[in-house]
Amino acid sequence: MIVKSNPDEIQNFLVDASNFKGACDSVFFPENKKDIISVLKSANNTRTQVTVSGNGTGLTGARVPQNGIVIATDKLNKILEINANEFYAWIEPAVLLSDFQKELKQKNLFYPPDPTETNCFIGGTVATNASGAKTFKYGSTRDYVIGLQVILPDGEVIDLERGKQKAKGYDLVLITQTGKNISLQIPDYSIPDVKNASGYFVKKDMDAVDLFIGSEGTLGIITKIKLKLLPQPEDTISCVLFFDDETTALNFLEEARDTSYQNKKDNVNDNINALALEFFDERALKFLAKDFSAIPENAQAAIWFEQESTADTFDAILEAWNKLMQKHSVNEDIAWFAFSDADKEKMKDFRHAISWKVNEYVARNNFRKLGTDVAVPDKSFREFYFTLQNWAKQSNIDFVSYGHFGNSHIHLNFLPKNDEEFNEGKKLYKQICEEAVRQGGTISAEHGIGKAKRDYLLMMYGEVNIRKMAALKKSLDPNLILGIGNIFSKEYL
Ligand SMILES: Cc1cc2nc3c(=O)[nH]c(=O)nc-3n(C[C@H](O)[C@H](O)[C@H](O)COP(=O)(O)OP(=O)(O)OC[C@H]3O[C@@H](n4cnc5c(N)ncnc54)[C@H](O)[C@@H]3O)c2cc1C
């Protein structure tokens, strides 16, 4: 097993895409399960802190170590099995999402979770319960994980299959490969009924698989993943619409969202039934204008939608969207329609560019990312959006807003130019999180908590529940070595 300690060689592991920075003694690159067990056992004996690393595209500092060692999963990167008849795959955690998607496409299969950044490891997406544009129709990573192999901090291995190991009420017993029984008390806090990736997933009678999804490298190291697959859709329609005012854009989006929900429920596939419904505000469009010269100069908002289609349904679907566009006076002459694969990729580049450019701006100016990841119930979203816009505009700090508005989920990113603006942005960020919680929403819908958002999680669930999460973690990691500092700070352990 390769172990690197040279500062130049390990530098890359001391940061993630949020520009959160850390330190460690060395980075281990295990090649198999046995290597991981041996590193963990030794760390457990010496009480050395271990941080698990995926591909570092996370946005909360979760894979960034504060000290101790890093276990980099990079070499566990094999697709073990793709079963096209039974629609599942077994993979190792460091399979790149983009590689997996390519492989599946060739086999006419489809894996819906699509965090905008496809340069992530699937292990990382499971550990953060990542979502993406397609979550609007298909849900988050959690909905596609049907089995996991996890190595616990003491080197014990558990194999989990969805439906097979369930809690009785809030009591869960895990049995390891060596036959050791571990009794866990599942916390009883309730999770908001919105898209959510904040803290441990808990539920009465919950499935053990769900405990590890979204646990951000704090409960064990995921070494094998079984994923549910779907048939590849025959085709997709992809379109970006530009609006003269935000209110019209939101009216359009809400009608498209509600119609899609209804048609999904009724299984109607020849009418509006969107895969993705994404939004960009005026500032986000201006931020992108240099790279995408076709963005109309005066556009105040844009919506990107995608929908699956077949040769039979294509015309009817297009007609339904056209009708909706006419109803909301959308100027079709300036809309972007993508029918070829190449054009669809350009649309994806457009969506990816806004997230990527914001991260790049933040890193260039040497600040930590100050981007909200809040979601609220659909009924509160419009007012919530305008409240956030007003607060941000009053602050005089540059910002851009965009996100998965179909899921009532917004990324409002502050772009501070100096420390003073950064500190003011932090106060506003807290205020936005408080408002999201007040509305019955979440402070993180998809990126997770990591080290950057612990204070807001505390605000969301309160100290008593954070202590319950910490107690759960302690039952699996009594020597407190794994992913310390993620989700809650050490003082709770
Ligand atoms: C431009 C851009 C756009 C993005 N857009 C989205 C988006 O739309 N939706 C979204 O959800 N996310 C988005 N992200 C965030 C990011 O892509 C996800 O958080 C991703 O899921 C992390 O994967 P990773 O391999 O990079 O993990 P890392 O960042 O390396 O690690 C993330 C966490 O997973 C843990 N971990 C990694 N591997 C394992 C393992 N094998 N076992 C246990 N724990 C493990 C780490 O300890 C850490 O806690 C975006 C990021 C960027 C840069």
Q: What pLDDT, on the 0 to 100 scale, is given for residue 363?
A: 86
Q: How confident is the model at residue 396 (pLDDT cuts 50, 70, 90)?
A: confident
Per-residue model confidence (pLDDT) at position 366: 87
The enclosing H or E element of 70 equals strand 69-72
Model confidence at 164: pLDDT above 90? yes
Mean pLDDT on 348-371? 89
Are 284 and 410 in contact, with CB atoms under 8 Å apart? Answer: no
Domain 1-232+463-493 and domain 235-438 have a common topology? no
Q: How far is CA 4 from CA 38, 62, 412, in A?
A: 17, 20, 38
Q: Who has greater pLDDT, 347 or 402?
A: 402
The structure tokens listed for 243 are 């609006």
So what's the pLDDT on residue 340? Answer: 87
Contact 203, 191 (CB under 8 A): yes
Fold of 1-232+463-493: 3.30.465
Sign of the dihedral through C-alpha 359, 116, 100, 236: negative
In sequence order, which residues have a C-beta less than 8 Å from that of residue 414 and are 6 or more positions away?
A: 370, 371, 392, 397, 398, 399, 421, 422, 425, 428, 429
Ligand 1 centroid–CA 488 distance in Å is 18
For the beta carbon of residue 106, count every other beta carbon within 10 angstroms.
9
pLDDT at 368: 81
As a whole-number percent, the residues of the chain with pLDDT over 90 amount to: 93
CATH topology of domain 235-438: Vanillyl-alcohol Oxidase; Chain A, domain 3 (3.40.462)
Note the pLDDT tens digit of each residue in 227-265. 999 999 999 999 999 999 999 999 999 999 999 999 999
CB 389 within 8 A of CB 279: no
- The C-alpha atoms of residue 229 and residue 238 are separated, in whole angstroms, by 22
Q: Is the pLDDT at 367 greater than 90, yes or no?
A: no
Pocket-testing residue among 19, 40, 117, ligand 1, by greatest number of atoms within 8 A of Cβ: 117
**What are the sequence ranges of the domains in the chain?**
1-232+463-493, 235-438
Of all protein residues, the one whose alpha carbon is nearest to atom 23 of ligand 1 is 124
pLDDT of residue 116: 87
Distance 158 CA to ligand 1 centre (A): 23
What's the rounded mean pLDDT across residues 399-405? 97
- List, for residues 172-205, the tens digit of each pLDDT value: 999 999 999 999 999 999 999 999 999 999 999 9
pLDDT at 406 over 90: yes
Tell me how far apart the alpha carbons of residues 191 and 208 are, in angstroms, rounded to a whole number: 17
Q: Note if the pTM is more than 0.75.
A: yes
The backbone torsions φ and ψ at residue 238, rounded to the nearest 5 degrees and listed phi first, read -130, 135
SS (H, E, C) 394-447: HHCCCEEEEECHHHCEEEEEECCCCHHHHHHHHHHHHHHHHHHHHCCCECECCC
Q: Is the pLDDT of residue 40 over 90?
A: yes
On whether the CB atoms of residues 287 and 354 are closer than 8 A, the answer is yes
- List, in order, residues 6 or more apart from 423 with CB less than 8 Å away: none
296/180 Cα distance (integer angstroms)? 63
> Which residue's alpha carbon is at the smallest distance from atom 15 of ligand 1?
58
- What are residue 33's phi and psi, to 5 degrees? -55, -40
How large is the average pLDDT for residues 113-135?
95
Q: In ligand 1, which atom is closest to the CA atom of 122?
A: 25
Closest-lying ligand 1 atom to the alpha carbon of residue 483: 47
In whole angstroms, give the CA distance from residue 306 to residue 274: 6
**Residue 307 Ramachandran class (φ > 0 left, ψ -120 to 50 alpha, else beta):** beta
CA of 122 from ligand 1 middle (Å) equals 8
* pLDDT in the model for residue 262: 97
**pLDDT for residue 369:** 81
Q: Tens of pLDDT along 265-293?
A: 999 999 999 999 999 999 999 999 989 99
As for ligand 1, residues whose beta carbon falls within 6 Å of it are 16-17, 52-59, 62-63, 73, 93, 115-117, 120-121, 123-125, 127-128, 130-132, 216-217, 221-222, 355-356, 359, 446-447, 483, 486
Q: What is the pLDDT of residues 207-233, one digit of tens each?
A: 999 999 999 999 999 999 999 999 999
C-alpha Rg value of the chain to the nearest Å:
22
Q: Which two tokens stand for residue 199?
A: 């803290």
CB distance 157 to 149 below 8 Å:
yes
In Å, what is the CA distance from 41 to each residue of 69, 174, 332?
A: 13, 19, 62
